[in-house]
């Protein structure tokens, strides 16, 4: 089946340091997977951070970037300089493109704490 | 503003109790989902729906029923709650995926404790 594996947390980083959260996927039932990063801030629901639907492309939002690498089946999340407000839980997810199947397969989530 | 709301936000019940979690979306989306979030497991899909009256079984459906009464409203029912169902529950909605994928919009979650 489809699966997503991401960096196990918790991850603690100092403010202004760089961040990478690893994500690899296995898409056995999806011909053209779409890849997503969602973020959940304390007390809130998940919200989309960025998505990429084409292999080789990069998505970016709020200073975060992720490149869809089909060869290595990876979609790592990076940020050059984190802020305390980035403290949250980050989820990598895999989805279908087209058709009627809108199911997403999520990773376990990575809790990020940014210390000042 | 488009939104997904859930009620209650917190619920405590006893083993064997009857619980209904409610979700309403104003996104005009056809698709709605119920997930549970547990430490070490990420989000796991319980049930989902393509529209009013439709129900699809997710990946962890045992012990749960769901009903989609309107396009806006999706309910999760625990008829004989067990401590293993203590969890954080999220509802979400989306359009069909199309070629651009389907972003899901999430509610704030309901924390359920079964004693």
Contact assignment for A95 to B102 by CB distance below 8 Å: yes
- Chain-wide mean pLDDT for chain B? 93
Q: Which residues in B lie closer than 8 A to residue A108 (C-beta atoms)?
A: 40-42
- Chain-wide mean pLDDT for chain A? 93
- In angstroms, the first-to-last Cα distance of chain B is 37
**Chain A contacts to B (CB-CB under 8 A):** 4, 34, 36, 38, 43-48, 51, 53, 91, 95-104, 106-109
The pLDDT of residue B100 is 64
Q: How confident is the model at residue A28 (pLDDT cuts 50, 70, 90)?
A: confident
The answer to whether B1 faces chain A, any CB pair under 8 Å, is no
Q: Which residues in A lie closer than 8 A to residue B43 (C-beta atoms)?
A: 46, 91, 106, 109
Answer whether A13's CB lies under 8 Å from A112's CB: yes
Q: What is the pLDDT of residues B16-36, one digit of tens each?
A: 999 999 999 999 999 999 999
Answer whether A93's CB lies under 8 Å from A105's CB: yes
Distance CA A5, CA A23 (A): 6
Q: What is the pLDDT of residues B59-104, one digit of tens each?
A: 999 999 999 999 999 999 999 999 999 999 999 999 887 666 678 9
The pLDDT of residue B40 is 84
In this prediction, residues B43-72 reach a mean pLDDT of: 95
B-interface mutation test, from A57, A95, A102, A105, most B Cβ less than 10 A away? A102
The pLDDT of residue A67 is 97
Is the per-residue pLDDT at A20 higher than 90? Answer: yes
Phi and psi dihedrals of A60, rounded to 5? Answer: -150, 150
Is the per-residue pLDDT at A16 higher than 90? Answer: yes
Q: What is the pLDDT of residues A48-92, one digit of tens each?
A: 999 998 999 999 999 999 999 999 999 999 999 999 999 999 999
Distance CA A88, CA A47 (A): 11
* Chain B residue nearest residue A89, CA to CA: B42
Comparing CA positions, the residue from B73, B74, B76 lying closest to residue B61 is: B76
The pLDDT of residue A2 is 87
User: Strand, coil or helix: what is A1?
Assistant: coil
Is the per-residue pLDDT at A37 higher than 60? Answer: yes
Distance CA B93, CA B74 (A): 10
* Chain A residue nearest residue B6, CA to CA: A45
The residue behind tokens 């304390």 is A42
The pLDDT of residue A25 is 96
The pLDDT of residue A98 is 65
Q: How confident is the model at residue A106 (pLDDT cuts 50, 70, 90)?
A: very high
């Amino acid at each position: 089946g489809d699966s997503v594996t991401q960096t196990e947390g918790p991850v603690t980083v100092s403010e202004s340091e760089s961040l990478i959260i690893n994500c690899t996927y296995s898409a056995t039932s999806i011909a053209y997977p779409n890849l997503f990063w969602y973020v959940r801030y304390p007390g809130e629901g998940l919200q989309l951070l960025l998505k990429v639907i084409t292999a080789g492309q990069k998505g970016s939002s709020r200073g975060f970037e992720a490149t869809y690498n089909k060869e290595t089946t990876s979609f790592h999340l990076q940020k050059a300089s984190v802020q305390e407000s980035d403290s949250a839980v980050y989820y990598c997810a895999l989805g279908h493109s087209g058709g009627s199947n809108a199911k997403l397969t999520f990773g376990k989530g990575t809790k990020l704490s940014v210390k000042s | 503003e488009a939104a997904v709301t859930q009620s209650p936000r917190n619920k405590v019940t006893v083993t064997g109790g009857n619980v209904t979690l409610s979700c309403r979306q104003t996104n005009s989306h056809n698709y709605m989902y119920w997930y549970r979030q547990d430490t070490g497991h990420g989000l796991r899909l319980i049930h989902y729906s393509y529209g009013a009256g439709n129900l699809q079984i997710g990946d962890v459906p045992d012990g749960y029923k769901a009903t989609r009464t309107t396009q806006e409203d999706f309910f999760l029912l625990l008829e004989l709650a067990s401590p293993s169902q203590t969890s954080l529950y999220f509802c979400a909605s989306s359009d069909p995926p199309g070629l651009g994928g389907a972003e899901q919009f999430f509610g704030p979650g309901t924390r359920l404790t079964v004693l």
